[in-house]
Structure 1
Amino acid sequence: MSEVRGITVTIKYGKSYEDTWAVFKGGAGEVRQDILDYFGIESDSVTGLTLSDIVTNATQIAHGKGLIATQLGATVIAQEPAPAPAKPQGDPWASVGTSQPVTVADQAPASSSEQDKNTWILGEIEKQTNRADLKKLWANNQSFFADPAVMTAYKAKGKALPA
């Protein structure tokens, strides 16, 4: 009788036994994908990282969330999606083009405070000369990558660099 090989990865949110933990079981590829899905990590952002690297990053995320919850009493809430805008009655052009109307506010540049807080990380992304260093930058500065503009710059730089 042959045994099916697999691994088990446990990621704890804190040091105490009572703290939350997540357990992932299966083959290495399955566990990798399960961790990415569970923590909401985009696959493109971890291309080239080992499962061990991903577990380390996920553990850092879990510890950060655990500290926020225990030390600050924070809770995670879901933001409800904005309701779809009403289509004007009798407007034959309302269904043409994009599903969302483009407004002047959508085209306006980000506020200067948003740009200021990301100036450093955007500069660091641009300085990178290889994918390995770019990935290390991502792993060590994940708080910046929640901003879509930063993530877009990161992905573009990654595609521009040689493998």
Structure 2
Amino acid sequence: MSEGRGITVTIKYGKSYEDTWAVFKGSASEVRSDILDYFGIESDSVTGLTLSDIVTNATNIAHGKGLIATQLGATVVAEEPAPPAKPQGDPWAAIGNSSPVTVADQAPAASPEQDKNAWVLGEIAKKTSRAELKKFWAENQSFFADPAVMDAYKAKGKSLPA
């Protein structure tokens, strides 16, 4: 297909005529960019994929969201960002302290991986029932791609009464 000709891509959220549609029109590069933006797909993650591949992936996303909404009555909510990491070993925090702070007195800096998961691991630890734990998982699935988080989730689930 020539880049100069306009194309139209329609992605449906389900099989029914009443289901939501998303229609993209323009050149192939415009449609590609619009689909990535519309579905929140990172452009780096689709490097090397054809427009057809991207449409297939976007259709799968749309069908999944459509099924979740119609079958489970779910709604899309904004993901809460992780709270900002607290600075480690801040020399300004020691001002006003009567004793001088040395490097040996400071706590070891947490690894970036630990900082990234600190909030979610803390939230998992707070859950007191499997129902709370399952609800937290359902609302924060993006964190569970990390094996450390998933291991903590499973361990907590086993420790809670059914």
* TM-score, with structure 2 as normaliser: 0.52
CA distance in 2, matches of 1:73, 1:64: 13
| Structure 2: stretches of 5+ with no match in the other structure | 95-108, 122-140, 148-162
CA distance in 2, matches of 1:57, 1:82: 27
Give 4+ residue runs of structure 1 displaced > 3 Å after superposition: 80-87, 102-105, 107-111, 144-150
Q: Give the alignment's Cα RMSD to 1 decimal.
A: 3.8
Largest Rg, 1 or 2: 2
Taking structure 1 as reference, are residues 29 and 93 closer, same or farther at Cα in structure 2, changes over 3 Å only? farther
Residue deviations 1:38-60, cap 9 Å, x none? 11111111111110111011101
SS at match of 2:92: coil
CA distance in 2, matches of 1:85, 1:108: 10
Residues matched between the structures, number: 106
Taking structure 1 as reference, are residues 40 and 148 closer, same or farther at Cα in structure 2, changes over 3 Å only? farther
- Equivalent residue, structure 2, for 1:71: 71
* TM-score, with structure 1 as normaliser: 0.52
Residue deviations 1:46-93, cap 9 Å, x none? 111110111011101100110110011111011344565799xxx736
Write out aligned runs for 1:4-153 (5 A): 5-81=5-81, 92=92, 105-106=114-115, 149=146
| Structure 1: stretches of 5+ with no match in the other structure | 95-101, 112-143, 151-163
Instruction: Report how far residue 19 of structure 1 moved.
Output: 0.5
CA distance in 2, matches of 1:21, 1:57: 15
